[in-house]
Amino acid sequence: MFDCHTHVFGSGHVGGAALAALKRVWGEKYEMKALPKDNLECVKDCEGAIVLAFDAPATGMVVPNEYVAEYTLKHQDKLFGFASVDPNKWDAPLILEHAVKELGMCGLKLAPFYQNFYPDEKRYFSLYAKAAELNIPILWHQGTSFIPEGYLDASRPAALDPIAREFPSLKMIIAHMGHPWTEECIAVVRKNKNMFMDMSALGTRSWQFYNAMVIAMEYGVLHKILFGSDYPFFTSEETKESFSNINKLVEGTNFPRIPEREVEKIIQRNTPEILEIV
């Protein structure tokens, strides 16, 4: 089991609009969940994980590349650090190059909702070109969130289609299957060979999760779903548990079921090999 979507937050990394919204939504649980007790806790149940930096000053979340690089380098055998760069910075491609070449990071995390930018605007394409040149994948938070200040209209999965067409060899992952636009996400992923999606953080919305999986099955793209948890908000074990029970919702009905072997294939997927980060 490999977890393609985990976070670390150090003290002071979450502030402003993000902190206010997290406290509102998660309440007391926020403090507990947001600060991992142990460095390896995020991967105690799995063989490895991608750990994401987060450069989103627009909404108050800044987890520096250096912080994540230091964290992952201590556990090089298990952890893969993805840099994050605010695309609004004029030197974003150079920051990315530094993170990969000097800090040893192996991917890029972008999140238009949190970073307040429209991904299909041409002025950001130099950053994607740099990722393609460095041969690293981009993991996109391309879906909704609960921060009032975030750009919801920048967060549709279809906004990534022009990028996929311009950079066909660039590997891209849409996090959380682009919720609530899971069908749109599936359409974008199906047509673009190097696009994938992760099923992290969907477990608590069992109807949406089940429907997303059924639609992915009907479109024939289950093989493009990567396993992830969105730790520390959910652990990989919790995610595996909810995923393994996905058909419980329709037990005793004629609704379609996701074959157990397909669920198991996603849980066992060799994500580092697919993303070529090993």
Distances, alpha carbon 32 to alpha carbons 37, 60, 232, in Å: 9, 19, 9
**Shorter beta-carbon distance to Zn ion: residue 42 or 188:** 42
Are residues 241 and 8 in contact, defined by beta-carbon separation less than 8 angstroms? no
From the list 9-17, 143-151, 153-161, 222-230, the region that binds Zn ion by CB under 5 A is 222-230
**Shorter beta-carbon distance to Zn ion: residue 3 or 230:** 230
Quick one: which of 124, 118, 198, 191 has its CA closest to 161? 191
* Conformation bin of residue 10: beta by default, left when phi > 0, alpha when psi is -120 to 50: beta
Compute how many residues bind Zn ion; rule: CB under 5 A: 1
Structure tokens, 184:
């749109």
Minimum CB separation of residue 230 from Zn ion in Å reads: 4
Minimum CB separation of residue 5 from Zn ion in Å reads: 6
Minimum CB separation of residue 257 from Zn ion in Å reads: 28
From the list 33-41, 69-77, 121-129, 223-231, the region that binds Zn ion by CB under 5 A is 223-231
Distance CA(47)–CA(52), nearest Å, equals: 17
Distances, alpha carbon 249 to alpha carbons 118, 228, 245, in Å: 37, 21, 8
Task: Note whether 3 binds Zn ion by CB under 5 A.
Answer: no
**Shorter beta-carbon distance to Zn ion: residue 29 or 191:** 29
Q: What is the footprint of Zn ion within residues 226-245 (CB under 5 A)?
A: 230
Quick one: which of 229, 261, 220, 219 has its CA closest to 244? 261
Minimum CB separation of residue 16 from Zn ion in Å reads: 17
Minimum CB separation of residue 180 from Zn ion in Å reads: 16
Residue holding tokens 């590349």?
65
**Shorter beta-carbon distance to Zn ion: residue 93 or 229:** 229
Q: Which residues bind Zn ion (CB under 5 A)?
A: 230
